[in-house]
Structure 1
């Protein structure tokens, strides 16, 4: 198994969650055999998130941060994390902690044999409307991509860094990470993980951007798939 991991944590107006994020991630790091770095990506937060992140990173050298000059969106935050990671693996978890860092271990069990391992939120703790809109959006996306994934919106993933860094990024890409690995002839697996209710802060996606966004992104993905350049060197001198 690769032995270094960068955990990317996108942040947008999550001041009420960040102390808990540090505590839970540090608890996971303390019992994990991998060498782990946490990378906060502050996506133009308008609350005190940046100040709290800076304090965490000053006190704990395992934690680092990137700070955007304005809000660019989740996909850009994830891409920035990929670009700046220096580890053999990259992970991703949301700062709302509706998934548990401890469940990274469930994904790591398979990373030797797959290039991306993603969580599938079992027994989701969201509202009925949110669950239904996510289910419809996943069905739309799956019909376009044929990636076989049931829950690409799950904010808990592990990816081999060389694959992550080659992903051609666009807005909305966070819904298409498994499909982008498959474009590289990589392999993907999904694993059930825990899901928890949000206990602080506010969700960033509503019903409409959860439904209309994926449809528009699917069209962009189909265009990219047709134009995507992928090759293998058979021989050279």
Structure 2
């Protein structure tokens, strides 16, 4: 079997009601446009998300399901999904349904029109559909991150992204790394582009994050990523 052109990786934790409609939207957006697979990673959900995913496999041949033996967080789920993926390019979506899969072809079109050194196409939620407190916290966090990392990215927290699998797997791995992909990809010597995408309100389930907890972890992570950037050394390699 030939590998797919694209692997759509979706991490989930307790999102049983969001899974069927999101899978249907991914299929509607991509079937007939590209050879693709969908790789869901269940982060040891406490509800029946895993059972819902397993039941969908009979209806959606593109669907693959991974399950964490213990809860490990979104970055680990994304990384394990990318490691298991068979496509050379990866699209990621949050499992809560707030990202619109119809934007994946838009990111692919941006990739096809871009220079070959651009390896990450990051979604940019120009019209956030979150609460006022979440939008305020995001603006505050983005301003601090941009000042410290100078990654020229207006929205690193958007879950919908398109990137080359090999480039991602070459990045340093740590918990919460998914929030710093533009800076990490740039550190590796590649370029990134932000693409405006849709954002939708959550219709079911609850958010897995709170503003204070995210801020406290983010401060430590920012310092770590800034340190990684200062310690980066790159050079061209020639075989002779």
| Same-fold call, TM cutoff 0.5 | yes
**3-state SS, counterpart of residue 236 of structure 1:** coil
Q: In the alignment, is residue 104 of structure 1 matched against residue 107 of structure 2? A: no
Measure, in 1, the Cα distance between the counterparts of 2:90 and 2:155.
19
Q: Which residue of 1 aligns with 2:222?
A: 218
Moved more, 146-155 or 112-121: 112-121
How far the C-alpha of 1:214 sits from its partner, in A, is 1.6
Contact map agreement 1:134 1:211 (CA 8 A) in 2: no
Cα distance in 2 for partners of 1:19, 1:5 equals 20
2:158 corresponds to 1:154: yes
Q: Provide the rounded CA distance (Å) in 2 between the counterparts of 1:10 and 1:58.
A: 20
> Is contact 2:30-2:105 (8 Å) kept?
no
The separation in 2 between residues aligned to 1:81 and 1:209, in whole angstroms, is 25
* Consecutive unaligned residues in structure 2, runs of 5 or more: none
1: distance between equivalents of 2:208 and 2:234?
A: 34
> What is aligned with 1:29?
30
Alignment correspondent of 2:85: 85
Separation (CA, whole Å) in 1 of partners of 2:214 and 2:239: 47
Match in the other structure for 2:191: 187
| Residues paired across the two proteins, number | 234
Please, what TM-score do these two structures have when normalized by structure 1? 0.94
- In the alignment, what sits opposite 2:138? 134
Matched, 1:171 2:210: no
Residue 105 of structure 1: CA displacement?
1.6
The alignment's C-alpha RMSD in Å is: 1.6
Note if contact 1:175-1:214 (Cα within 8 Å) is conserved in structure 2: no
In structure 2, distance between residues paired with 1:26 and 1:79: 22
- The whole-number CA distance in structure 2 between the counterparts of 1:95 and 1:58 is 20
Query: What is the distance in 1 between the residues matched to 2:178 and 2:166?
Result: 17
1:202 to partner: Cα distance: 0.6
Structure 1 equivalent of residue 67 of structure 2: 67
**Residue 120 of structure 1 corresponds to which residue in structure 2?**
124
| Deviations 1:28-71, CA, capped at 9 Å, x for gaps | 12242x21100001111000001111111233220001100111
Deviation by residue 1:67-107 (Cα, 9 ceiling, x = unmatched)? 00111111111111121122110010011111110111221
Gaps of 5+ in 1: none
Tell me how far apart the structure 1 counterparts of residues 204 and 94 of structure 2 sit (CA, whole Å). 13
Distance between the aligned counterparts of 2:37 and 2:202, measured in 1? 24
Provide the C-alpha distance between the structure 1 equivalents of 2:189 and 2:80, rounded to a whole number of angstroms.
23
**Shift in Å at residue 226 of structure 1?**
3.1
Q: 1:227: Cα distance to partner?
A: 3.3
Counterpart of 1:8 in structure 2 is: 9
Indicate the residue corresponding to 2:207 in structure 1. Answer: 203
How far residue 222 of structure 1 moved from its aligned partner, in angstroms, is 1.8
Is 1:17 paired with 2:21?
no
